[in-house]
Structure 1
Amino acid sequence: EGNPYTWWVGKANEKHYYWGGSGPGIQKCACGIERNCTDPKYYCNCDADYKQWRKDTGMLSYKEHLPVSQVVVGDIDRPGSEAKISVGPVRCQGDWNYWNAASFITSSSYLHFSTFQGETSADISFYFKTSASDGVFLENLGNTDFIKLELKSATEVSFSFDVGNGPVEIVVRSPSQLNDDQWHRVNAERNVKQASLQVDQLPLEVRKAPTEGHTRLELYSQLYVGAAGGQRGFLGCIRSLRMNGVTLDLEERAKVTLGVKPGCSGHCTSYGMYCANGGKCVEKYNGYSCDCSKTAYDGPFCIKDVGAFFEEGMWLRYNFHSPGTSMKDLVSRTLLSSTDPETTVPDLNLNKEELSFSFSTTKSPCVLLYISSYTQDYMAVLVKPSGNLQIRYSLGGTREPYNIDVDHRNMANGQPHTVNITRNERNIVLQLDHYPPTSYSLPTASDIQFNSPKALFLGKVIEIGKIDQDIYKYNTPGFTGCLSRVQFNQIAPLKAALRPTNASSHVHIQGELVESNCGASPLTIPPMSAATDPWHLDSASADFPYNGQAIGDGVNRNSAIIGGVIAVVIFTILCTLVFLIRYMFRHKGTYHTNEAKGAESAESADAAIMNNDPNFTETIDESKKEWLI
């Protein structure tokens, strides 16, 4: 009764009160559903609170609620009670039938299966991928009856059969090439009333069956997938072949058949776009996977943020060179020329770099990120005391560093913000959150090479040697908040710290790094139109962030707001005065009630009324008279 004291949190941060072996909306454990709990008064074994250890186990299989992000336990103030909760790993399984495939590598290769039983109805579907212009997909023969599906040309798929009334052929013609080495779906159906064929999303081709004649398809030979009867066989891949609801095991049969290989290559040509954020698609014989090693993301599709929460005083340093690397070795190694960026260092003279990360904080000032060098060059991203963002470049050639001040909003507001910085020689492109990218340019006197980068710092700068005074001032007490998706060129320092790889030896941490995605997705509020944006400037040459004077629209809007507030105040005062006047001069009246006489001595209200009512009195008086006869 009521909400339980313990629950778990899943996708979308929703609370769930059911447990393993149970389902959504059922506040029971598996034993409660099966009615075999230790104590029949409870719906979970653990609720019995016996001295002996009991357990409730089961699988959470409702995928819309998974994965489990946290478990909350309440009602812990019970002396002598003990409990242990463990959550196992998430296991994801793909659709075996969907990826069951075979590759036909010669025009004479084929797979054979038992005779297709489709006397009165046939439902055949599969996917194919090829670069050949024609070939037989499958065929099954009888004495005179047959059924066949084939690629007749680069733009035509044919479905033909004969049930004893003569051959029937249905052809679907595609406006685009079907031998483009992309996956295409074929669905063919036949019953006693009609037959149909559809390819991809093209219009369905239908052929009505004759009103009289044979209706049963009588087949005797084996079912051939690929070449048959000396015809040119199919060259390419077929997968997910289903016939009357049964998936044929192409992979298992291909393992023992010459000229046919289990699985298909080339999945990345069709599904590689699902590897996001720079993830690389890797071919597998029965599917594909995404390699996220060169990104700041994780997960099967490289879309899971990898980040951490920084407490005050914590810092992370990523050394661009391996421990013990000499300067001679350092000069001979570069990031761009290496095949393994996790074990190498950036180019000693960077003409360009890409930096991206997300952060959230409520403390300012602080240093978000700092890249030092073996020279005086450095790059820094700071939050100023006002909460505004500043990007600082010092590449030599000028007395003062080049600063990019983003003064349009307070970035230390506790919300997640995304920063993307790209530099190519003198040109710098900055994008914040959902705002359009903005271009800047280094001064003509500035160098364009970032010489000898040494280390990347997050949270706080711990560097030996001379440090810029503003950096030193903002460095205390340090960054407090969340950082995620941090990536400098092909290096992801936070991911290297949280995921053991070859690059982990480059990382040094002060404090305990607690993993968190920091709610890293930025606000998705669309940009305001020029008519409603108070920061919009009429000048087409104005650069973002906007540092111009307040525009007329903003003044008019402020005036309207002030006028509305004044009107509300005046109306409130008038209403108060009217109420006070009515209260002071209200009419004071009296009222009089008539009560029945004798109410004081009557036993009840009804008795008082009866005593005072003349009808009752008269009746009583009449009864007291005496008559003489």
Structure 2
Amino acid sequence: MNGVTLDLEERAKVTSGFKSGCSGHCTSYGANCENGGKCIEKYHGYSCDCSNTAYDGTFCNKADVGAFFEEGMWLRYNFQASGISGKESGSRSESSPDPQGPLPDLAHEEIRFSFSTSKAPCILLYVSSLTTDFLAVLIKPTGNLQIRYNLGGTREPYNIDVDHRNVANGQPHSVNITRHEKTILLKLDHYPSVSYHLPSSSDTLFNSPKSLFLGKVIETGKIDQEIHKYNTPGFTGCLSRVQFNQIAPLKAALRQTNASAHVHIQGELVESNCGASPLTLSPMSSATDPWHLDHLDSASADFPYNPGQGQAIRNGVNRNSAIIGGVIAVVIFTILCTLVFLIRYMFRHKGTYHTNEAKGAESAESADAAIMNNDPNFTETIDESKKEWLI
């Protein structure tokens, strides 16, 4: 200050009211920023930066951004900056990121999104490159999910087929794909994560990524035959919270962010809460449900079981147990009725009542005298000749 270097730390040590070793708010509360949100330190607190996530809200945990795709609609996110040739962008992708937006790690991809659709086949997500490398997540005509990787110019792409369920059933599903070099970790909905390994002929780098497509692939040059076959008519349904590494293409399209210039859309993209949140509980299938009717009809049913007959009971009810339960119910009903009758009999003659007899009736000669003594305004005299005698 004014040409003089001030050692503020030393001054703080000898000043009362100051303590050294302050770590900031983000050290204690940074974990509150969810889904990859970045904690920003402030003077009186902190805030969560959700710009590189597919979420909104104070803590990046609310209102996952989603949109409904009509038939023929597509979204393209360009990784490379405009005005750069293919050769230049290919060399830059391995050295420095695009100043207008982050580039994905070439040896690592992390993909997360949710979707719901009832039409197959279709392309959910496709990442192209300036070379022959590509990544695709699609739904086959059978309704099963497939992930296709082609790294290093291999002759045949490496396919991961998820054949244990149909995902084109109109229900919401979530997909998490993580690749580190040749190891791929896939998690679908609530099922446990499954690990896969790329073949030895595959490369470990995704060379020169070019564009990310949602809904449909509109790319120049040679495209994989399976991708070309499943590209028509396109995806119809809901896509939500799409994130590729640090890029959220749907959020960039629907919000005014720094990455919005990288987005190109065919059709009208309208933000919609179209129900693409995944189910948290798995429905029990008939094969694992012991109370399913098919199991009760089969000869291998283990319960309910009747020890006397040595075979499973079809309707699941033991006759002896039903008789015993009926007898117990009758006994309980009889006891309750007896108790009610006894209570009503005990309290039948019990009670108190009040009369309107005049005060002093006990010491008065007659009832008329008691009334006269009790009411001073009573002036009527009683004539002895008017007394009535009952014989």
Superposed pair shares fold, TM > 0.5? yes
Give the counterpart of 2:233 among 471, 474, 477: 477
Give the counterpart of 1:331 among 77, 80, 90: 90
The secondary structure found in structure 1 opposite 2:67 is: strand
Q: What letter is aligned with 1:327?
A: G
- Tell me, yes or no, if structure 1 residue 493 matches structure 2 residue 241: no
1:481-540 per-position Cα deviation (integer Å, ceiling 9, x unaligned): 111111111111111111122221111100010112433432111697xxx9948xxxxx
- Tell me, yes or no, if structure 1 residue 294 matches structure 2 residue 78: no
Structure 1 residues 567, 379: CA separation in 2 closer, same or farther (over 3 Å shift)?
A: same
User: How many Å separate the matches in 1 of 2:99 and 2:50?
Assistant: 13
Structure 1 residues 469, 303: CA separation in 2 closer, same or farther (over 3 Å shift)?
A: same
1:353-388 per-position Cα deviation (integer Å, ceiling 9, x unaligned): 111111111111110011111222211101112211
State the match for 1:560 in structure 2.
Answer: 296
1:552-587 per-position Cα deviation (integer Å, ceiling 9, x unaligned): x99x983424689x967xxxxxxxxxxxxxxxxxxx
**Equivalent residues in 2 for 1:33-44 (5 A)?**
none
User: How many Å separate the matches in 1 of 2:100 and 2:182?
Assistant: 27
User: How many Å separate the matches in 2 of 1:282 and 1:385?
Assistant: 46
Give the counterpart of 2:145 among 378, 383, 389: 389
The secondary structure found in structure 2 opposite 1:418 is: strand
- The number of aligned residues is 291
| Cα RMSD after superposing both structures | 3.1
Structure 1 residues 526, 387: CA separation in 2 closer, same or farther (over 3 Å shift)?
A: closer
State the match for 2:354 in structure 1.
Answer: none
User: How many Å separate the matches in 2 of 1:309 and 1:374?
Assistant: 29
User: How many Å separate the matches in 2 of 1:533 and 1:508?
Assistant: 45
- Tell me, yes or no, if structure 1 residue 281 matches structure 2 residue 39: yes
Structure 1 residues 393, 233: CA separation in 2 closer, same or farther (over 3 Å shift)?
A: closer
Distance apart, 1:233 and its partner CA: 4.0
Q: What letter is aligned with 1:560?
A: L
Report sequence identity in percent. Answer: 70
- Tell me, yes or no, if structure 1 residue 433 matches structure 2 residue 192: no
User: How many Å separate the matches in 2 of 1:359 and 1:335?
Assistant: 32
User: How many Å separate the matches in 2 of 1:331 and 1:526?
Assistant: 44
State the match for 1:368 in structure 2.
Answer: 124
1:404-434 per-position Cα deviation (integer Å, ceiling 9, x unaligned): 1111111112222111111112111001112
Q: What letter is aligned with 2:77?
A: Y
State the match for 2:329 in structure 1.
Answer: none
**Equivalent residues in 2 for 1:171-570 (5 A)?**
233=17, 235=19, 266-304=24-62, 305-334=64-93, 337-338=96-97, 342-346=100-104, 350-396=106-152, 398-525=154-281, 534=287, 558-561=294-297
Q: What letter is aligned with 2:294?
A: N
The secondary structure found in structure 2 opposite 1:268 is: helix
Q: What letter is aligned with 1:333?
A: R
CA contact (8 A) 1:318 1:457 kept: yes
User: How many Å separate the matches in 2 of 1:285 and 1:309?
Assistant: 41
How does the TM-score come out when normalised to structure 1?
Answer: 0.43
User: How many Å separate the matches in 2 of 1:362 and 1:272?
Assistant: 40
Which structure exhibits the higher relative contact order, with contacts defined as CA atoms closer than 8 Å and separated by 6 or more residues?
2
Q: What letter is aligned with 2:250?
A: L
CA contact (8 A) 1:397 1:445 kept: no
User: How many Å separate the matches in 1 of 2:102 and 2:40?
Assistant: 23
Q: Which one has the bigger strand percentage?
A: 1
CA contact (8 A) 1:335 1:344 kept: no
CA contact (8 A) 1:355 1:487 kept: yes
Q: What letter is aligned with 2:244?
A: F
How does the TM-score come out when normalised to structure 2?
Answer: 0.67
1:420-478 per-position Cα deviation (integer Å, ceiling 9, x unaligned): 11111211100111211100111222333322221110000111122222212211111
User: How many Å separate the matches in 1 of 2:314 and 2:103?
Assistant: 66
**Equivalent residues in 2 for 1:78-157 (5 A)?**
106=12
Q: What letter is aligned with 2:226?
A: D
Structure 1 residues 107, 533: CA separation in 2 closer, same or farther (over 3 Å shift)?
A: farther
